[in-house]
Amino acid sequence: GESVGLHLPTLSVQEGDNSIINCAYSNSASDYFIWYKQESGKGPQFIIDIRSNMDKRQGQRVTVLLNKTVKHLSLQIAATQPGDSAVYFCAENSQTGTASKLTFGTGTRLQVTL
Amino acid sequence: DAGVIQSPRHEVTEMGQEVTLRCKPISGHNSLFWYRQTMMRGLELLIYFNNNVPIDDSGMPEDRFSAKMPNASFSTLKIQPSEPRDSAVYFCASSYQLAGGRETQYFGPGTRLLVL
């Protein structure tokens, strides 16, 4: 029979343009958020993180914005390159006693066109 | 640092067989996580350990799945008996967590499992 999988939203961006990937999180008590990049055939790779006491954090070519009021997270990639093509996941942290775990979103596929 | 090491990278087996996946976390890390990734369900947390102790196994699908962490540098995820619906990519991740901490998890390359 035909399989039905997750429908990953896809963002197509021209090389050199800026990319913005959005994520809504569910737990208002989450206090730490991470963006991961997953290339085909590889494990998720850490890109950038942000704590809930911040609303913006910048890395090399990447910026994460956090809006706790509407529980929204975004990842901005400047001057997008072909090597940025991947699936991007946001993850929120929750605590269990002294240990913590991440809950991942469904992901967004970024396609960079030449 | 070698990063998180997983073996095997690929496994093809027949329904009913036992499958053992292995993980070596990053040296010095005290938390280890097992995830499963499928097209149907995305990335799911199966179980995680802190200081070699299982903290939350609520994501383990059923009794056919078991995980152990006999020491700080090794963990196994076992499926017995395996079924075709277990076919997925299984990731191991590790982190160093302080009390109340929010430390980044680092993922291994994954084991691609196919159960025929």
Measured distance CA(A79)–CA(B75) in Å, rounded = 40
pLDDT at A7 over 80: no
Residue B100: which pLDDT band, with cuts at 50, 70 and 90? low
Per DSSP, the residues of B44-84 read EEEEEEETTEEEE-TT--STTEEEEEEETTEEEEEESS--G
Measured distance CA(A105)–CA(B10) in Å, rounded = 25
Interface test with B, best of A32, A64, A102 (most B CBs within 10 A): A102
State whether B104 and A34 contact (CB < 8 Å): yes
Measured distance CA(A43)–CA(A59) in Å, rounded = 21
Chain mean pLDDT for chain A: 89
Burial class (CB in 10 A: 0-12, 13-18, 19+), A109: middle
SS3 (DSSP) at A84: helix
Do residues B23 and B77 touch, judged by C-beta distance below 8 A? Answer: yes
Of the partner residues A44, A45, A93, the one whose CB lies closest to the CB of residue B102: A93
Interface test with A, best of B105, B106, B112 (most A CBs within 10 A): B105
**Residue A9 is encoded by which pair of tokens?**
């939203």
Q: Residue A2: what pLDDT?
A: 39
In tens, the pLDDT along A34-58 reads 999 999 999 999 999 999 999 999 9
End-to-end CA distance of chain B: 36
Of the partner residues B100, B102, B107, the one whose CB lies closest to the CB of residue A43: B107
Residues 6+ apart with CB under 8 A from B60: B46, B47, B66, B67
Mean pLDDT (whole number) for A24-29: 87
In tens, the pLDDT along B23-75 reads 999 999 999 999 999 988 889 999 999 999 998 898 998 899 999 999 999 99
Contacts of B107 in chain A (CB under 8 A): 36, 43-45
